[in-house]
Amino acid sequence: MVRVSFRIVALVASFLSLPVAAQEMLSAPASMVPAVAVIDDAAPMLPAGASPNFEPPVADGAGGYLTPNRGLSAEETTWHLRVALNVAALGCRGAAADQLIDGYNALLTMHKATLATITDAVAQRYKARFGANWQAYQDDAMTRLYNFWALPPAKEAFCAAALGVIRDLGAIAPDALPAFAATALPRLEAPMLAFFVEFDRYRIARTAWQARHAPASVMIAAQAAPVQIASVRVGVGEP
């Protein structure tokens, strides 16, 4: 008695039903089969230094972001400039580190009176807004501001921007510091904004990539129900 799998019979039949050219291609050595183009659709790469769980500030709907540097008074703008340069002096390394430290110390010395007035004005603003608990609100805001300027993925570009601001600051008179801060603060914030844009583009690309791949695997898993192929026995005396 000879047992022939129905699967084998079906495969042979399907092969013989193919055009001659197709049969020759299937039976040809691998080296003779035309190469098939492979489309590179690798998953998007996370921006350098970024955490996958990072959350950029909320977008403002006009191509920008609602950072801690939005909606500031002239005094707050100057204060935020001082905080940014403080972070640069503390965190930036390399050949420019000494220039940043010396420049920041010069800022504190040359503009001491102006900075004292600004410090008091900022405190008064918090007192007017938050009453008896103003100090806690200001401390929380300053913590978030320091963390904003210390964003690791933007550090290199931020330090370069800070060095340029420090160099320009040396020629600024004390009474011109607020006006200088209004133009210098956007320069310092630019590396952060550039990173936010890069990260949002990555998130969009990642979502699109997942949409191309994840649903397909789910569909295949859902449709891949087990199929049982019966085997038949072909032999003498069998019906």
User: Rounded mean pLDDT of 9-32?
Assistant: 50
Q: State CA 107 to chain mean position distance.
A: 33
Per-domain boundaries in the chain: 74-203
How far from 170 is each of 60, 92, 109, 135, 161, CA to CA, in Å?
A: 34, 19, 11, 32, 15
User: Residues with Cβ < 8 Å from 73, sequence gap 6 or more?
Assistant: 121, 125
For residues 53-81, average pLDDT: 94
Say yes or no to pLDDT of 137 above 90. Answer: yes
pLDDT at 15 over 50: no
Per-residue tokens: 193 = 């904004």
Q: Which residue has the tokens 């990260």?
A: 199
**Could you tell me if residue 22 is left (phi over 0), alpha (psi between -120 and 50 degrees) or otherwise beta?**
alpha
**pLDDT at res. 8:** 45
Residue 135: both structure tokens together: 């100090």
Identify which of 171, 158, 152, 155 has the alpha carbon closest to the alpha carbon of residue 103: 171
Local confidence band at 122 (pLDDT 50, 70, 90 cut-offs) = very high
For the whole model, what pTM was predicted? 0.72
In whole angstroms, give the CA distance from residue 49 to residue 58: 20
More reliable by pLDDT, 229 or 88? 88
Contact 6, 233 (CB under 8 A): no
pLDDT tens, 199-238?
999 999 999 998 888 765 554 554 554 544 333 333 334 3
Q: Which two tokens stand for residue 169?
A: 């600051």
At residue 212, the pLDDT reads: 87
Count CB atoms within 10 A of the CB of residue 102. 13
183 close to 172: Cβ distance less than 8 angstroms:
no
pLDDT for 95 equals: 85
Confidence band (pLDDT; 50, 70, 90) for 27?
A: low
In contact, 49 and 152? CB cutoff 8 Å: yes
